[in-house]
Structure 1
Amino acid sequence: MNKTILYIGWIGYRNLGDDLLWNLFRDRADKYLGSGQITIVPSLPGVNIQHLERYDTIVLGGGSLIAPTYIQLLYRAIKMKKKVCIWGSGIDRIPESALYAMQEGEKMPVIQRFKGEEIAQLREVLMQADFIGVRGPYTKKVLETLTGVSGVPIIGDPGLLLEWNKAAVQKEKCIGINWGTTMNNLYGNKEKDVEKQLAEAAKQWVSEGYKVFIYAVWSEDFPACQWLYKLIDKPEKVLFEKKLYTEQELMKKLSICSLTVNFKLHPNLLSLSAGVPAVALGYRFKVFDLFSSLGLEHLVLSTSEEQINTKLMKLADETMQEADKIRKDYWVKQQIYSPQIEKIFTEDGL
Structure 2
Amino acid sequence: MRYIGWLGHRNIGDEALYQAFRSTIAPDALVVPFDDWSPVSWMAERRNADVVLGGGTLINVRAYLGAMQRANELGGRICVFGTGVADLAYWAQHGGRGRGDEAEWVRVLRGAQYLGVRGPRSLDWMRRQGLGSAEIVGDPAVSVAAPSWDAGSGRVVGLNLGSHDPVQGSADGVYQAALHALREFLARGYRVHFIPLHDIDSDAGAALAREVDDPGFVVHRFDPDVQLCLQRLRACRFVVGQRLHATVLASALGIPNLSLSYQPKCLDFLESIDCAALALPTEHLTGPALVERAFELEAVAGAWNTRLVQACDGLRERQHRRARDLGWARP
TM, length-normalised to structure 1? 0.82
Map Cα deviations across residues 244-275 of structure 1 (whole Å, 9 max, x no partner).
16333223322232211001011112222333
SS of the equivalent of 2:240 reads strand
1:131-210 equivalences in 2 (<5 Å) = 131-145=114-128, 147-164=129-146, 166=148, 168=150, 170-182=152-164, 185-188=166-169, 190-210=170-190
Q: Which residue of 2 aligns with 1:127?
A: 110
Among 245, 256, 267, the residue aligned to 1:277? 256
The answer on 1:16 being equivalent to 2:12 is yes
Q: What is the match of residue 102 of structure 1?
A: none
**1:183-332 alignment, distance < 5 Å:** 185-188=166-169, 190-231=170-211, 233-244=212-223, 246-306=225-285, 308-332=286-310
Distance in 2 (CA, whole Å) between partners of 1:318 and 1:343 is: 36
Residue type of the alignment partner of 1:338: R
Query: How much is the aligned-residue C-alpha RMSD, in angstroms?
Result: 2.9
Per-residue CA distance 1:24-48 (angstroms, 9 max, x = gap): 10113663x2xxxx5432247778x
Deviation at 1:321, TM superposition (A): 1.6
Cα distance, 1:164–1:249 mapped onto 2, change above 3 Å: farther
Q: Deviations over 1:266-296 (max 9, x none)?
A: 1112222333201000111110100011111
Q: Count how many residue pairs are aligned between Structure 1 and Structure 2.
A: 320
Aligned mates of 1:261, 1:83 — CA distance in 2: 39
Partner of 1:106: none
Q: Do the aligned partners of residues 187 and 167 (structure 1) sit closer, same or farther apart at CA in structure 2, a change above 3 Å counting?
A: closer
Q: Is the 8 A contact 1:67 1:114 kept in 2?
A: yes
- 1:108-151 deviation per Cα after TM superposition (whole angstroms, max 9, x unaligned): xxxx9544xx41x3333443312221000011112322x13324
Once residues 167 and 244 of structure 2 are traced to their aligned partners in structure 1, the CA distance between those partners, rounded to angstroms, is 13
1:84 paired to 2:78: yes
Per-residue CA distance 1:196-215 (angstroms, 9 max, x = gap): 22101110111111111111
Aligned residues of 1:169 and 1:255 also touching (Cα < 8 A): no
1:303, CA displacement in angstroms?
A: 1.1
Q: Deviations over 1:69-118 (max 9, x none)?
A: 324432442243211011101023444599xxxxxxxxxxxxx9544xx4
Instruction: Specify whether residues 161 and 39 from structure 1 end up closer, same or farther in structure 2 by C-alpha distance, changes over 3 A only.
Output: closer
- Aligned residue for 1:59? 52
- After TM superposition, give the deviation of residue 298 of structure 1 in Å: 0.9
| Rounded Cα–Cα distance in structure 2 between residues aligned with 1:314 and 1:168 | 23
Question: Which deviates more, 149-158 or 65-74?
Answer: 65-74
Distance in 2 between residues matched to 1:6 and 1:161, nearest whole Å: 19
Which AA in structure 2 matches 1:142?
A: W
Cα distance change on mapping 1:167 and 1:143 into 2, 3 Å = closer
Structure 2 residue identity aligned to 1:331: V
For residue 224 of structure 1, report the CA deviation from its aligned partner: 2.0
- The answer (yes or no) to whether the contact 1:175–1:212 under 8 Å persists in 2 is yes
SS in 2 for 1:90: strand
Residues 229 and 336 (structure 1 numbering): CA distance in 2 closer, same or farther, change over 3 Å? Answer: same
The superposition leaves residues 144-178 of structure 1 with CA deviations (integer Å, 9 ceiling, x where unpaired) of 22x13324200000011132363747511121101
* 1:220 to 1:45, Cα distance in 2 relative to 1, 3 A: farther
Q: Give the residue type in structure 1 aligned to 2:207.
A: W
**Cα drift, residue 10 of structure 1:** 0.7
* Structure 2 residues without counterparts, runs of 5 or longer: 93-97
1:333 equivalenced with 2:311 (yes/no):
yes
Contact 1:144-1:152 within 8 A present in 2 as well: yes
- SS in structure 1 of the partner of residue 228 of structure 2: helix
Which amino acid counterpart does residue 57 of structure 1 have in structure 2? D
The alpha-carbon deviation at position 68 of structure 1 amounts to 4.2
